[in-house]
Structure 1
Amino acid sequence: MMTPDYCRMMARYNAWQNKQMKAALEALDHETLTQDRGAFFGSILKTANHILWGDLIWMAKFDGGEPPSGGIPGSVDLNPTLAAWSADRFRTDARILNWARRVQTVELLGEMRWYSGAMGTNVAVPTPQCVTHFFNHQTHHRGQIHAMVTAAGGTGWNTDLVFMPKDGPWL
Structure 2
Amino acid sequence: MTPAELFLRRYRDFAAYNSWANRRLHDAAARLDDAAYRAERGAFFGSVHGTLNHLLTTDRIWMRRITGTGEAPTALDTILFEDCPALAQARREEDRRIAEVVGGLGEAELAGELHYRNSRGDPFVQPLSTVLDHLFNHQTHHRGQAHALISGFLGNDATPSLDLLMFHRETGLARPD
TM-score by length of 2: 0.86
CA contact (8 A) 2:55 2:139 kept: yes
Shift of 1:111: 1.7
Give the aligned partner of residue 24 of structure 2.
20
- Give runs of aligned pairs for residues 14-163 of structure 1, distance below 5 A: 14-73=18-77, 75=78, 77-118=79-120, 120-154=121-155, 155-163=158-166
Deviation >3 Å, runs of 4+:
none
Q: For 1:96 and 1:117, locate their aligned partners in 2 and report how far apart those are by CA, in whole Å.
A: 20
Equivalent pair of 2:116/2:123 in contact (CA under 8 Å) = yes
Partner in structure 2 of residue 166 of structure 1: 171
Quote the RMSD (CA, aligned, Å): 1.6
Percent of matched pairs sharing the same residue: 32
Note the residue ranges of structure 1 that are not aligned, 5 or more in a row: none
For 1:115 and 1:61, the matched residues in 2 are separated by: 8
Instruction: For residue 90 of structure 1, report the CA deviation from its aligned partner.
Output: 1.4
Task: Mark the structure with the bigger radius of gyration.
Answer: 2
Q: TM-score of the superposition, structure 1-length normalised?
A: 0.89
Other-structure match for 2:175: none
Choose the corresponding residue for 1:7, options 7, 11, 15.
11
Which fold has the larger relative contact order, with Cα–Cα distance below 8 Å and residues 6 or more apart in sequence? 1
In 1: Cα distance, 2:60 partner to 2:93 partner:
10
